[in-house]
Amino acid sequence: MKIVVLDGYTLNPGDLSWDELKALGDVTIYDRTDSVNIVQRALGSEVLLTNKTVLDKSVLNSLPDVKYIGVLATGYNIVDLEMAREKDIVVTNIPAYSTVSVAQMVFAHILNITQRVAHYAHEVQNGMWGTQPDFCYWNTPLVELEGKRMGIIGLGNIGKATARIASAFGMHVVVYTSKKESEIPREYEKVELNEIFKTCDIVSLHCPLTDTTKKMVNSERLSMMKQGAILINTSRGDLIDERALESALLSGRLLGAGLDVLSLEPASGENPLLRLNNCFITPHIAWATRESRERLMKQAVENLKSWIVGKIINNVL
């Protein structure tokens, strides 16, 4: 069985092993594949594994031997599902592998904004502490989390993990979710979307990107937010109108924003958020801890093994 990994580098830049996958067939691994080389590299393969390489209608029509596509991520919008269904191609994904790591990044951003650890470490290195007349020194607001109101938009696996951490910090958690009241832990309060923006000290986004949620964080909702509130996004960049966020940050309405995703990735130098000193952007790495990638690798192999023996798991069709 011929197996081709079209873009394996982000999953495994060299610190993991492909051996379990290689035991399943004749495996060729490419770090990256641009659009003009997809068909050439994939031709004759029965199995394709892809992270962000797009498999659209024209590509799938050019690959008559493909029977299985394994997406090396949770989101699978890179695959033309209608064409896959028409050609009887199984498409699987990897759910929930990064839950713990992403929730951890949410609080890395929150703690960075409220405590500014990196900033003060640099200040000390630059000699600022040593010039002070007092035993301590700070030049930014410092914020305690206990008692603050944390709004979580989307209560899937990552939203739930984030809520548990917030509760451990002594925060009051409110959620906006399509889940029924009976499905929500009793310690969390279900509220309407605009109430999240109006009443919460911290708002964290954990919902999928759809036509309904695209740019849901717009100028109107940002204007609702409390003075000094914090916005966190580890979900999808297009949930936020970035120009509107720029205005809210420049005006000082928000204390800060912590973003692991942007509308255009990698970041364009034209993105207005890059120049703001109260917008903290990480390069889409919330998912990328070694432990998270190990889970992803293991599940990708299990998905393929199950398909080989006729028991399909994590099928998205």
d(CA 286, CA 111): 15
40's tokens: 């050439």
- Could you tell me the strand order of the sheet in which 26-29 lies? 26-29, 2-5, 47-50, 68-71, 90-92
DSSP designation for 253: S
240 strand-pairing partners: 217
CA dihedral sign of residues 69, 73, 79, 84: positive
Question: Cis before residue 266, ω within 30 degrees of 0?
Answer: yes
Contact 145, 115 (CB under 8 A): no
* Phi and psi torsions of 183, nearest 5°: -90, -5
Catalytic residues: 236, 265, 284
Contact 73, 51 (CB under 8 A): yes
d(CA 306, CA 92): 11
First to last CA, the chain: 23
Give me the half-sphere count of Cα atoms (radius 13 Å) on the Cβ side of residue 158: 26
Rg, Å, the chain Cα set: 22
List of residues 6+ apart from 163 with CB closer than 8 A: 150, 152, 155, 173, 175, 185, 188
Give me the half-sphere count of Cα atoms (radius 13 Å) on the Cβ side of residue 280: 23
28 strand-pairing partners: 4
